[in-house]
């Protein structure tokens, strides 16, 4: 839908369109990576001009070193524990908060 149509339907000055670009895990024995990415654009509904853009990806890398069987067992447990869904949710929450913090203040304020 074109921004001008949204202006007439909703009566708003701008709309924000977003896309999740990354939302995945990588697991390789004692290595884990969690990646979350977000792309946002604020578009004027009157002119169609892009007013603001945000594009960021967060990656959390974890590498465990195992020197003996006990540290191997602990490392495998920690690697699996780092892939819990709550960690992905926390990363997405963090990137969304940062995006909101970068929204520019309107010029009339």
> For residue 96, what is the enclosing H or E element?
helix 85-101
Per the CB < 8 A criterion, the answer to whether 51 and 104 are in contact is: yes
| Model pLDDT for residues 41-75, shown as the tens digit of each residue | 999 998 889 999 999 999 988 888 888 999 889 88
Encode pLDDT of 92-105 as tens digits: 999 999 999 998 88
Q: What phi-psi label fits residue 40: left (phi over 0), alpha (psi between -120 and 50 degrees) or beta?
A: beta
Pull the structure tokens for residue 9. Answer: 């339907």
Domains defined along the chain, listed by start: 3-101 (3.40.50.10610)
- DSSP assigned state of 77: H
Q: What is the pTM of this model?
A: 0.75
The residue with greater pLDDT, 3 or 11, is 11
d(CA 14, CA 18): 13
């Amino acid at each position: 839908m074109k921004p001008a149509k949204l202006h007439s339907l909703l009566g708003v000055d701008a709309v924000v369109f977003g896309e999740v670009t990354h939302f995945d895990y990588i697991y390789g024995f004692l290595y884990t990576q969690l990646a979350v990415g977000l792309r946002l654009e604020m578009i004027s509904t009157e002119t169609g001009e892009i007013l603001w853009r945000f594009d960021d990806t967060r990656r959390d890398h974890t590498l465990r070193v195992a020197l003996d069987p006990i540290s191997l067992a602990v490392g495998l447990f920690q690697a699996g524990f780092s892939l819990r869904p709550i960690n992905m949710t926390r990363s997405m929450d963090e990137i969304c908060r940062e995006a909101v913090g970068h929204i520019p203040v309107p010029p009339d304020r």
